[in-house]
Chain A
């Protein structure tokens, strides 16, 4: 499928488990982002990547790990899930340059019990 996809769309897990959320884009965009969306907080940036093998922390990186071995993929791993990580997670990509339209995936709703 063309565009940006996320999997799974819904996930329920337990405290302490490792969870990986996948993000894939077909445009070869240089930049990719992970956000979490929580009521009252809007969108908060977790991590972003400017290119393969280049990642940087955002506003709320604690408890998350990212990697980017290929341009098109940007997985987000919760190494030991906590209840406070229950959220909706959005991946986005962007070509870069002065005009920065970010394209968002459909989101993954994660519940940590």
Chain B
């Protein structure tokens, strides 16, 4: 079945690295996504990774994908107070034309 699991909360100090983890169950996933939701707003795509990649780096963001363990992680280097938000992991499937499956979201709190 389709299921995406994330831990619900993470707290880090400003300047430290944050690592948000996600596990998924469907090995046919083609793309995996990280969305960010700031307070009072909708979700915005932060980054994504294609399933044939192991890693993707984008400025302070590093996405790691372990297909064998069906594990996805998002690392935010030098975490800032502006990174405080809810981060959602999501997956899409072969056809592409099906709704994304979202995790419940991880609330990241950054302590100054």
Contact = CB atoms under 8 A, between A and B. Distances in A.
A binds B: yes
Nearest to A101: B45
Given A90-B43, A107-B41, A100 B100 contact: yes
A96 B97 contact: yes
Interface of B: 30-31, 33, 40-45, 48, 88, 92, 96-97, 99-100, 102-105
Nearest to A100: B92
A43 B102 CA distance: 7
A99 B96 contact: yes
Contacts of A100: 31, 92, 96-97, 100
Name A's interface SS: loop
Interface in A2-32: 31
A61 interface: no
Nearest to B43: A104
A40 B103 CA distance: 11
A106 B44 CA distance: 10
